[in-house]
A and B are shown apart, each in its own frame.
Chain A
Amino acid sequence: MSIYTMGIDVGSTSSKCVILKDGQEIVCKSLVASGTGTSGPDRAVAELLEKSGLKKEDMSYILATGYGRNSIDWVDQQMSELSCHARGAYHLFPEVHTVIDIGGQDVKVLQIENGAMVNFQMNDKCAAGTGRFLDVMARVLEVNVSDLAELGAKSTKKIGISSTCTVFAESEVISQLAQGSDKCDIINGIHHSIANRVAGLTHRVGVRDQLVMTGGVAQNSGVVKALEEELGHTILTSPITQYVGALGASLFAYQKALKK
């Protein structure tokens, strides 16, 4: 009989779920763009179960991760998103040694040895360099976050945007707009601003091949490219980058299910 496990990643801005069959095959995944403290996690689970045709009772083990992991109390276990991102990335890229995860409100850099996280660094309190930074900037620029990569790629001129504070950077962007700077150049500057900050954190852990980027911001090729330039290192991403945390959670859940 097959073993099904579920991983739920309750982030600050979105909720992601994955059902895994026998610790290998992703049967189904779901994503709702609302995170902890909202109906997002419940809706993501409901959507997942509906799409897969499976029931909660079919799951051998359910594990929650992410910023809001402790807000769902009906699961079997909670684990930090640090370990889950490490585990998910290792599943997708068995040669991984460094993981950069840019989430909604934090940035993590993980050092991986044989698939296990042995050390990590996270951002300080400031939201500069996180997904929230991009959200704020997109709003000021009146563009969709999902269009940032494409627009930034059209940049022809380098514009420096501060990386020390989201609020400062926002006012810099506003003054650039007032001066008539091209939006594409500003966006490219924003990508480099994030990359600059994240690179500093990455160097603290050290870069070792393979370097994998996970989390929603990895979908933005502008940030990935800027970070590759800052680090002088190739970065690998997965098409299911947003689900890596949930995938890791479902993999840990599988390990637990086997021990049950």
Chain B
Amino acid sequence: MAETEKTTAAAPAAKPKKEASPATKALRKVVSDVYAAAWTAKEQGRPIGWSSSKFPAEIAETLGLAVVYPENQAAGIAAQHDGERMCQIAEEMGFDADICGYARISLACANGAITTNEGRRVPRPDFVLCCNNICNCMTKWYENIARMNNCPLIMIDVPYNNHVEVDDSYVQYIRGQFDDAIVQLEKISGNKWDEEKFKQVCANANRTAKAWLKVCDYLQYKPAPMSGFDLFNHMADVVTARCKVEAAEAFELLAEELEEHVKNGTSTLPFPEQYRVMFEGIPCWPDLKALFKPLKGNGVNVTAVVYAPAFGFVYDDMDSLCRAYCKAPNSVCIEQGVDWREGICRDNKVDGVLVHYNRSCKPWSGYMAEMQRRFTKDLGVPCAGFDGDQADPRNFNAAQYETRVQGLVEAMEQNKLAKEAKAQ
């Protein structure tokens, strides 16, 4: 039963930390290498760029430019508990506490603040790449980074799409900007655009996307061979290294490991899976333990996250690349967003939905009330929302969260019983 029974509530004895699997180690190395490459470039006097997560990385990669990703950096800093301090530094600089926590952390870094997370320190940028398909906060955030560091900003504007299909006029508009970005980055890098290399980079990115989707699909197994929370960690590779062959190889290795688990009936989830949920939104990085505790306590596995369909794009030329970059979670219409999520909820057989009303991410949280309504209506599963923040721990309350999780579990249980009774 869902609730905490005295008989089962006893905490298991603390186990020694399990060693990471070869695939997990490989995935971590791919990301560390991205940061290391930026430092090497700096030492060698080559320019380095700071890029938003859904800027067409294929362009910088083709031109051999070293690039780091402030969103990934901010997540890493927050997860290592330096987010609050960095946010406060940005607030002292004059940035409002209501601004996205990733932006605040990054702006503190852009101004020279040094994080305690050594692995996520980056050299100051020589150019900045921003694509606002992520959100509009990005635009001002990256403008500020460029201004603080007195360096060029290459901005790609992707309009919000209120249709499911991407219109040709969108493609033309974005294509023009991609072409212009290439010209600007040729100047910055001192390298000429090489169509053959571009094809190879795209092939790598497609291979990564396919392997990523394959990994995500393992969550369809019941019980799942892993926790969907792992995907949030692995997202770092998709963001920072999707054009690199090493990322594709590491995901392929992970898929092999998961295949083995399925064959053997084992899982990396550290508890038996009783319920399956979609976790909506970015996790509260500073509070991962608190986030995980009631899920573990109630046997709840996260088997669906929207990142799976939102980052698994495959394309074959510059125009289809433009189309792919129109489809970021917050730049698509609600119908598309609901469709992605409901598809994955069905495929991955979820019993409920846990929604993070993320104080940092207004665009993502704003549409969730309507989405929740649709999930309940279309999928017949209960949803619970909780308040939190991806980077600023001041916006999360563990006790409130626990009650909501327990409520969700109790509602899922009731739902299950009702369905069973109906079936009989």
Contact = CB atoms under 8 A, between A and B. Distances in A.
B357 interface: yes
Interface string B1-20: 00111100000000000000
B399 A79 contact: no
Interface in B333-384: 357, 369, 372-373, 376, 382-384
Interface residues of A, number: 25
Interface stretch (B34-42, B166-174, B412-420): B412-420
B407 interface: yes
A174 interface: no
Q: Does more than half of chain B's interface fall in helix, strand or loop, or is it mixed?
A: helix
A10 B416 CA distance: 28
Given A80-B403, A118-B415, A125 B387 contact: yes
B4 A122 contact: no
B162 interface: no
B79 interface: no
Interface string A73-100: 0011111111100000000000000000
Most A C-beta atoms less than 10 A away, residue of B3, B372, B382, B418: B3
Most B C-beta atoms less than 10 A away, residue of A75, A80, A120, A125: A80
B362 to A, nearest CB: 13
A76 B6 CA distance: 6
B411 interface: yes
Nearest to B405: A80
B297 to A, nearest CB: 10
A238 interface: no
A79 B3 CA distance: 5
Contact of A125 (B4, B372, B384, B397): B397
A106 B400 contact: yes
B407 A80 contact: yes
Contacts of A114: 418
Contact of B382 (A106, A119, A124): A119
Nearest to B414: A116
Contact of A82 (B6, B369, B399, B407): B407
A122 B415 contact: no
Interface residues of B, number: 28
A250 B357 CA distance: 33
B395 A125 contact: yes
Interface in B126-150: none
B384 A120 contact: yes
Contacts, number: 73
A118 B404 contact: no
B299 interface: no
B5 A77 contact: yes
A158 B382 CA distance: 38
A78 B298 CA distance: 13
Contacts of A75: 6
A67 interface: yes
Given A77-B5, A77-B6, A122 B385 contact: yes
A34 interface: no
A121 B403 CA distance: 12
A82 B385 CA distance: 14
A58 interface: no
Contacts of B400: 106, 122, 125
Nearest to A81: B403
Contacts of B406: 79-80, 82
Contacts of B186: none
B407 A118 contact: no
A113 B418 contact: yes
Interface string A98-134: 0000000010100001101111111011000000000
B383 A80 contact: no
Given A81-B403, A124-B387, A119 B376 contact: yes
B410 interface: yes
Contact of B357 (A67, A106, A124): A124
B357 A118 contact: no
A119 B397 CA distance: 21
Contacts of A81: 403
A113 B373 CA distance: 17
A204 interface: yes
Contacts of A106: 400, 403
Contacts of A79: 3-4, 406, 410
A27 B6 CA distance: 26
Given A80-B403, A83-B407, A124-B357, A118 B418 contact: yes
A204 B372 contact: yes
B414 A118 contact: yes
Contacts of B404: 122
Contacts of A67: 399, 403
Interface in B3-60: 3-6
Contacts of B397: 125
- Closest CB pairs A-B (n = 7): A82-B407, A116-B414, A80-B406, A79-B3, A83-B410, A125-B387, A119-B382
Given A83-B414, A204-B372, 7 more contacts: A77-B4, A114-B418, A119-B382, A120-B384, A122-B384, A122-B385, A122-B407
23 contacts: A67-B403, A79-B4, A82-B403, A82-B410, A82-B411, A83-B3, A83-B407, A108-B407, A114-B418, A116-B417, A116-B418, A117-B410, A117-B414, A118-B411, A118-B415, A118-B418, A119-B411, A120-B407, A122-B384, A122-B403, A122-B404, A124-B357, A125-B397
